[in-house]
Amino acid sequence: MSATPPAGPAAAAAYVIGHIVIKDPDTWLAYRNQVPATLVPWQGEILVRGRRAVELAGHSPFTDTVVIRFPDTAAVEGWYRSPAYQALIPLRERAAEVVLVGYAM
């Protein structure tokens, strides 16, 4: 029995990885609590939110990391540019130094 390949190319998942240094924990918590609602329309899912536990090679200035999965890069860009997320950026900038990078798989 042979497997039938899917019809047409499948969209590749895309990920946003955020590297973070928290400056104001209370403001960061306020920001962090509002982000999940901005992801819903773009089918974004937070996979990892964590604090650095151990450095294994090299040195990172970042203390926290977030990994968010989206269905594709169009969803990543749509989420980031959405009015809902754009409204949170001033809060994020007061709360932490953040580097956000999108990756396509």
What's the CATH fold of domain 14-52+61-104?
Alpha-Beta Plaits (3.30.70)
The token duo for 60 is 């990172």
pLDDT in tens, 57-84: 999 999 999 999 999 999 999 999 999 9
Banded pLDDT at 105 (limits 50, 70, 90)? confident
Per-residue HEC secondary structure of 8-49 comes to CCCCCCEEEEEEEEECCHHHHHHHHHHHHHHHHHHCCEEEEE
What 3-state DSSP class applies to 58? coil
Could you give the angle at the alpha carbon of 81 between the alpha carbons of 102 and 35, nearest 5°?
A: 75
pLDDT, the chain, mean: 92
Instruction: Answer whether 31's CB lies under 8 Å from 92's CB.
Output: yes
Per-domain residue ranges of the chain = 14-52+61-104
pLDDT of residue 40: 98
The token duo for 38 is 């901005």
Cα(89)–Cα(85) distance, rounded to whole angstroms?
A: 7
Span 20-27, mean pLDDT?
A: 98
The token duo for 20 is 């973070």
